Chain A
Amino acid sequence: MAPQKVLLAPIDPVHDVGLKIIRRGLEEAGHETVLLQPDLQPEEIIREIISSRADTVLISRTLGYGVAEILARFVDLADAAGVRDRVKIGIGGMAIRPELAAELGFDAGFGPGTSVEEAVAFVEGRDYVPSLAKNNKQKIDITEAYTYTCHNSVIAGLLKQITGIILAWTENRTSSGVLRARVREKLWDIDSWRKYEKMTEFLEEYPRFCGEITSDFYLKGIMHPRTRRFAREEVVALEEYIKATKERMEAPKLQHSLKKPLVFNQYGTGCPFMDTGHIKVSEAWGADGVIHFDPSWGARTEGFMDGFLTHQEDGTVITPANLNRIKQSLESGTLWQVRAHRGLNTPETVVLAGKFQADLTKINICYGALGAGTDPARMTVDGVEAIRYAAKYGIPFDIVTNEELCGVPAHKAFAGMLITAGLALRLGAKPILQPLFCYSPEVMVGGQMKDNYVDFNAAKVLALRRIIDAPVWPGAPIGFMTHSEDRIQSSAATAYHACLAAMLGVDAITIASSDEAYSGGPISVPSKVDTLRAVGEGFRFFGSTRLEPSQRALDWSREIEEGIENVLRQVAHRGDFVEALYEGILGSREEGAYPGRNGRDTVMMV
């Protein structure tokens, strides 16, 4: 379009910074600008509009007592002077919103967060279309750039030895979890399921390997207590909600100058409808991915029910229908992780994740066995099978080390994580290391975080980076045990941990909503927004600033690395990974790690 003449007028005693920024954008777009001095009277600006023959006028003003009347008078004068017939007038300022601009009589209003491009679009008389980057978030594979080369030859050798032991041990063992996963894999076809076709063979086979709750569901039609199907009108309402939300979804980015870390936020209210709301909020406030958080009873229950179900416990029950609905609600650029790491349904969860094209899953044999209540033998058999499916479906998985929260020292938890990572690499899967960024019992007792939360968390990442070239995704969530019932404190703590993660160059983070630790029930949307906003603000603050590790962090990282080597030596020396778990080599009872009992004695010899 032809260059426009734009008059920039601060009706304000001092503030004209916004106009100066916009001026630069307008001039870069080829328009002529005239910036008036601050604090002119409305009549003086009208005279300037007339004498300069401006096409557009942009006014800036900080709103305060009686200012609305001043601005309204300016608009009236412009109207009565006849300049509005040919001049567009917009207003910008911290308190300006479209509603206020309409009330004041302006043609457009530019509030906080207005981009220069938005102002240029107004001047050029075209509709503002946010940049494609804002609307078309693309999925990123955080494993892509890594070679998985193990830089520590001692650890490499030990992992080879230990994973060999594990694979040999599992070779002639199986479980109902493994058998169920195979039935799901072979006899359950997602396209047939979506078309409501009969799946007789699957329905005959599957209940045979289920526990009482699930077999009752299939054979007797008995629903799990406190669980029900959605009513038709609820489903219709959900579909309308998703449609309406998708239409106005912008999916902004939280990252500023760095592309990483990706930010993940979990859902799992028990109700897929509420989950969808949380997902849409996470997407709308910039989360890159969401994590399906399943109920704890699901981890202790053999088998999955089906149907679009809601229930009254923490976490959302995994059923094909629930996963299907949630998958359909996601924006195309949102990464979706379906956790499989801690219970009796681990391999089958990965199969379902694969069939529903989840982007990520979560598996860790050691955490599942020591911190999440599953029998070590069962967890090992099921874990290896789950990793095989992750490899088959090409789903990267993170290896969470939440046993640290029980009291297991970082080096032991990391040794367990690296064993699972080693298995993944041997079986062709893509593991992601997930060290906890937390105020764990180990550091509470040992005092490593007495002065700051930076050095020891940095030491963990430095140690892992030195050992292996693999993606790192601190979690889960970051800042665990530093949160309180104070939402501002919790959001700030999360943001600081997120910024530390970014400055250490990690690939992703999982963050908690600010009320997650203290909600006493489902987390709330404002709390989710709190944390996402705080993290985004932190990324903006630090930009691409890198952290120079302190000597103490470097020393601790070496201690962690040596600790990992020692633990792996002990496991290798023990010659039996499962027994090593039982005996506490990877986390002892004294440290707070208790071998799980769910699924005990369910491993079968083949």
Chain B
Amino acid sequence: VKTLTVGIAGTAKNTGKTTTTMALLEYLRNPGICIGVTSIGYDGERVDNVTGLPKPRVRLEAGSLVAVSEGCLPAGSARVKVLDRTGIKTPLGEIVCGQVIKGGLMVLAGPNQSRHLREILQWMSGQRADLVMVDGALNRVAPMAETNGLILCTGASYTTDLDRLSLETHSLGVICSLPGGAEIPGAAHVEGKTVLWNRDGLLLAELPGLLLEAGCVKAMRCLAVDAGGLYCPGLVSPECLAALAELPCREGMTYVFEDPMKLVLSGGALTAQRFVDRVRRREGRVVFRKSLPLAAVTVNPFYPCYRYETNHYQPAFIDRDLLVSRIKCSITVPVFDVVRDGPGGLAGRWKAWLQDWVHGFGEMVGK
């Protein structure tokens, strides 16, 4: 059985990550499906750690697999049988992996680094989990590159400027829709380095794995005319993206990045999309070693309104319908308001997606 792992990532706090996770868990509650849950942040608490406003609770059913910091176990009403200890340390203790033996509320704080999440997902897979949901934290997305696909949660908590929200959501949709599985020519591959190769796949230049300083990119200018492709395994800064776009490469250049998150993290999705557009205009293409498809977007009109006078937050909302319609117009993947619409639509979208992923899984969901 292949394990499907899905990251529920947000653009900010309070964009609805946990609400989306819980809605899907509720909908997919089916004894025939083995579900694993973890979080790269801290979820299920009664009130927000920063704003002090109420938060959605996390309820897990008996049989679910979890990976959670040991310090969280006494905080909920669910009972977990610890099956394995990982040695992964967090501020709330060691991450332990186990199975919920009595359903109830849980506080979830799991692995917060990519490499640790990778270990946990391997453990879940070893336990024959059918589906693993990784609840996000704040605006953190880096560890989500370890999952098979994303649900993006966004809304007024990120920005109440709907123009900006639409643009950025659109850009992220564009980046996440780029193909994965790109190969680096064997003769050009240097472990941990950014490499430039010619049309015959031979190494032209070798740069640091992280492209943070534009100077090193500009230094490749004289080689660019012979270049057929470039691969950057790490982060790339907006200055470097601009410098890459200005290299005098010939048409048909291929730019390979490790995954969509590495491309968008430093300069943001808008900057990354501008780069993609410039490459495309010159008949080039941007691809990833590992893709991270965006399955759906959920939106949340709620935002914590900060009162400077009192240093307090209070609940506030933007127009729910307007938010949904604007985001729907900006992106090709389905958009849901899970609080208003319930999880059916989102999960329905999942069925098709899951069916593609694991043969027969969609039928299980439909039972």
Binding site for B on A (CB under 8 A): 43, 46-47, 50, 63, 65, 68-69, 72-73, 75-77, 79-82, 84-85, 95, 97-109
Contacts and interface: CB of A to CB of B under 8 A. Distances in A.
B89 interface: yes
A85 B234 CA distance: 13
B261 interface: yes
A77 B263 CA distance: 11
B109 interface: yes
B209 interface: yes
Contact of A100 (B50, B113, B212): B50
B62 interface: no
Interface string B46-72: 000110000000000000000001010
A105 B212 contact: no
Contact of A81 (B13, B91, B213, B235): B235
Contacts of A99: 42, 45, 49, 91-92, 109
B142 A79 contact: yes
A84 B235 CA distance: 13
A106 B92 CA distance: 11
A82 B139 contact: no
Interface in B107-124: 109, 112-115
B172 to A, nearest CB: 14
Given A77-B266, A82-B209, A101 B142 contact: no
Given A77-B142, A100-B50, A102-B42, 7 more contacts: A43-B237, A43-B266, A65-B308, A99-B91, A103-B42, A107-B90, A107-B91
Contacts of B142: 75-77, 79-80
Given A50-B210, A82-B209, A100-B42, A72 B140 contact: yes
A14 B141 CA distance: 29
B78 interface: no
B42 A76 contact: no
A97 B235 contact: no
Contacts of A46: 212, 235
B138 A79 contact: no
B111 to A, nearest CB: 10
A85 to B, nearest CB: 6
20 contacts: A46-B212, A63-B50, A68-B50, A69-B12, A69-B13, A76-B140, A77-B265, A79-B113, A80-B145, A80-B265, A82-B210, A84-B114, A95-B50, A100-B42, A102-B90, A102-B92, A102-B112, A103-B41, A104-B41, A104-B138
B106 interface: no
Contacts of B91: 98-99, 101-102, 106-109
Contacts of A101: 91
Nearest to A47: B212
Contact of A103 (B138, B209, B265): B138
B357 interface: no
B211 to A, nearest CB: 11
Interface of B: 12-13, 40-42, 45, 49-50, 69, 71, 89-92, 109, 112-115, 137-143, 145, 209-210, 212-213, 234-235, 237, 261-262, 265-266, 306, 308
Nearest to B233: A82
Contacts of B141: 76
What's the dominant secondary structure at chain B's contact region?
loop
B109 A85 contact: no
Given A106-B91, A107-B90, A84 B113 contact: yes
A509 to B, nearest CB: 36
Contact of B40 (A47, A85, A105): A105
Contacts of B212: 43, 46-47
B49 A73 contact: no
Nearest to B144: A76
A269 B42 CA distance: 39
Contacts of B261: 80
Contacts of B50: 63, 68, 95, 100
Nearest to B88: A107
Contacts of B237: 43
A44 to B, nearest CB: 9
A24 to B, nearest CB: 24
A105 B140 contact: yes
B112 A75 contact: yes
Contacts of B112: 75, 102, 105-106
A80 B262 contact: yes
B109 A102 contact: yes
B362 to A, nearest CB: 33
A63 B50 CA distance: 8
B140 A98 contact: no
Contacts of A105: 40-41, 112-113, 137, 140
Nearest to A125: B89
Contact of A72 (B113, B139, B235, B266): B139
A183 to B, nearest CB: 49
Nearest to B209: A82
B303 to A, nearest CB: 12
A226 to B, nearest CB: 36
A109 B90 CA distance: 9
Nearest to A68: B50
Contacts of A98: 71, 91-92
A67 to B, nearest CB: 8
Contacts of B143: 79
A84 B117 CA distance: 13
Among A73, A85, A108, max chain B CB count under 10 A is at A73
